[in-house]
Amino acid sequence: MDLKAIIFDLDNTLIDFLTFKKETAKVAATAMVREGLPLTEIQTYGKIFSVYDEKGIDYQKTFRDVIEPFGFDVNKAERIQQAAIVTYLKRKFEVLKPYPMVYLTLEKLRKRYKLAIVTVAPRNKAWQRLVFTNLQNEFDIVISKDDVEEKKESGFDIAAQRLGFAAEECMYVGDNAERDILQAKEIGMKTCWAKYGSMRKTSETKADFEIDRFEDLLKIIKG
Ligand SMILES: [Mg+2]
């Protein structure tokens, strides 16, 4: 294939985002119960994920939403919320990581291709996660949710334009087999499903390729 650029999704493709969200929810739940939330840790963990499901995984007031229905006085509510936030942040620094072999694989790919990110995460969160995982200098361009809203085009169109390549010269790699893969394919990009990051047990995908490990990308590109 006459490939010029590879465009990556960020969360659950480059970064093991789900492990990070699960691990931080666990410790936050423990802290909230310790500070007086009248639920078990498992129930609290469940409530945190209900808020994520309803409001989106990047929602910024998750713990407040969990605490609010109990009608505590403001100081107790704040104490429980801050206990959750502090433990969440401490744990975040330990668990937010790229998948194995991401650095080495990107290093090899960079020698031959332009590399980009298209993510549905907000701009500040995307960059925060990139800096955090030391991936901030690996990509030629980063297109976030905010860039898409400003331009009113799909992130894939914007990425191809900014890279200066036709969609057909780009390959998209992402874990979302439905929305993202289909959108990229629709405009003519090659697509690769990052099966290892998929939260849903999708068995079928319209992607041209699929990978069980990040580094398998190198095999696909050689082939
Ligand atoms: Mg993703």
Q: Supply the CATH number for residue 73's domain.
A: 1.10.150.520
177 CA distance to ligand 1 middle (Å): 10
73 CA distance to ligand 1 middle (Å): 38
120 CA distance to ligand 1 middle (Å): 8
Written as tens digits, the pLDDT of the chain (223 aa) is: 689 999 999 999 999 988 999 999 999 999 999 999 999 999 999 999 999 999 988 889 999 999 999 999 999 999 999 999 999 999 998 999 999 999 999 999 999 999 999 999 999 999 999 999 999 999 999 999 999 988 788 999 999 999 999 999 999 999 988 889 999 999 999 999 999 988 766 667 789 999 999 999 999 998 7
Q: Which of 95, 115, 150 is the last residue of a domain?
A: 95
Query: Which tokens is 147 given?
Result: 């860039």
Task: Give the integer Cα–Cα distance in Å for 165 and 22.
Answer: 38
Q: Which of 63, 95, 127 is the last residue of a domain?
A: 95
Q: Supply the CATH number for residue 166's domain.
A: 3.40.50.1000
153 CA distance to ligand 1 middle (Å): 19
**Around Cβ 52, how many Cβ atoms within 10 Å?**
15
In eight-state DSSP terms, residue 92 is: H
Distances (CA, A) of 32 to 19, 74, 110, 114, 176: 20, 15, 44, 45, 32
Residues 119 and 141 both lie in one domain: yes
Asked if 119 and 144 touch (Cβ cutoff 8 Å), the reply is yes
76 CA distance to ligand 1 middle (Å): 36
Residues 190 and 167 both lie in one domain: yes
174 CA distance to ligand 1 middle (Å): 6
13 CA distance to ligand 1 middle (Å): 6
Residues 60-95 as b/e (b if ≥16 CB within 10 A, e otherwise) read eebbebbbeeeebeeeebebbbebbeebbeebbeee
Beta bridge partners of 194: 211
137 CA distance to ligand 1 middle (Å): 20
Residues 131 and 67 both lie in one domain: no
Residues 28 and 109 both lie in one domain: no
- Structural domains of the chain, count: 2
112 CA distance to ligand 1 middle (Å): 24
7 CA distance to ligand 1 middle (Å): 12
Question: Hunting for tokens 């410790």 — which residue is that?
Answer: 27
80 CA distance to ligand 1 middle (Å): 31
Range of the domain at 213: 5-16+97-222
